[in-house]
Structure 1
Amino acid sequence: MSEKKEGYRGFRPLADMASGVLDPVLRKRAGINLALLQSWEDIIGSALGAQSRPLKILWPRRAHEDDPFQPATLVIACEGFAAIRIQHETGEIISRVNAFLGFAAIGRIKIEQKPVPKPAPPRRMQQAVVDAASEKHIEAVTAEIEDDGLRAALARLGRSVIAEKAKRGS
């Protein structure tokens, strides 16, 4: 069985591959990375995070390589009342973003009042219902899988496939 488990190590989550493609584009176009976008609500709190989004980081131009480092400006999009709260909590937001980035990258915040798209609500997955014979078959097929999480995920997938086939009448 350990030989079969070896094959699973080569797979990477789609999010890892997507961030590998998106990070350079975001960094070049907006001076921002995907990790900051994905962690925004965790960084500034869920109340403000739901009403705002980081748009870009404006890095000051350096005339010479010897010029000292100057912190950047973080541009945040937000609506109405959130702008007042962000303005009031600017120091705290700068500290949290800098802690997330790992260095004093941000020195100022610029607020742009514009509509902020609401994040899509998480899809609620329904548990697929299958007959007893199909359930026994799924248990038999997945019984030898040692990893509990993988076994449960494959069992859910099997139930979904069988339920979908039954729904289509195949």
Structure 2
Amino acid sequence: MNKPRRSARPLPDIAGALLADAFRKQGFSSSELVVRWSAIVGDDVAAHAEPLKIQWQKVPDGQPSQPGTLVLRVDGPAAIEIQHMSHVILERVNRYFGFAAIGKIAIRQAPLRRVPPRPDRRLDPHAVQSIAETLPGETDPALKDALARLGAAIKRK
């Protein structure tokens, strides 16, 4: 008996479903606020603060829902600056949502969970050219190019 074959699902679909539950537990209806944080609030704020969660107040049935509290993780030295900019952050976040979803901001001082920037892997073409000129002329051109790029990469470090 042949079993029906299941086609492989793309990784982003699987990861998206798994991450959606984690974001929902932190009060985010979607991952958009976290993923687009820098575009929403600007690079000046995103360099020192990141969203942790949104706390929503429980309201009795029939009552209008209350705006939530956006909890931000902020670098210690930047906490006062972010506190003074809280009205600007509120405006930018609510403009992104399209309505007054967030009513206030709470700040938690802690180091940010930053992904270290990837080092620049581009080589200086002038360095590659100057190293290539020092190699013997009768060398295979592909080998000469590879050795020149290797030499430039070593010199860069």
- TM-score, normalised to structure 1's length? 0.59
Q: 1 or 2, which has the higher helix percentage?
A: 1
Identify the residue that residue 94 of structure 1 maps to in structure 2.
90
Give the superposition deviation at 1:120. Answer: 2.7
Identify the residue that residue 115 of structure 1 maps to in structure 2.
111
Distance 1:22 1:68 in 2: 29
Identify the residue that residue 128 of structure 2 maps to in structure 1.
none
Distance 1:36 1:87 in 2: 19
Identify the residue that residue 43 of structure 1 maps to in structure 2.
40
Find out whether 1:54 has 2:67 as its counterpart.
Answer: no
Cα distance, 1:30–1:12 mapped onto 2, change above 3 Å: same
Give the superposition deviation at 1:94. Answer: 0.7
Give deviations 1:69-120, integer Å, cap 9, x for gaps. Answer: 2100000001123211211111110111112223211000000001112223
Give the superposition deviation at 1:13. Answer: 6.6
Aligned-residue sequence identity (percent) comes to 40
Identify the residue that residue 79 of structure 1 maps to in structure 2.
75
Rg larger in structure: 2
Q: Give yes or no for contact 2:27–2:56 (8 Å, CA) kept in 1.
A: yes
Q: How many residues align?
A: 118
Identify the residue that residue 25 of structure 1 maps to in structure 2.
22
Distance 1:96 1:88 in 2: 14
Q: Give the RMSD, CA atoms, in angstroms.
A: 2.7
Distance 2:97 2:16 in 1: 16
Distance 1:95 1:16 in 2: 32
Structure 1 stretches of at least 4 aligned residues deviating more than 6 Å after TM superposition = none
Q: Give yes or no for contact 2:74–2:112 (8 Å, CA) kept in 1.
A: yes
Please, which runs of 5 or more residues in structure 2 have no aligned partner? 1-7, 124-140, 143-157
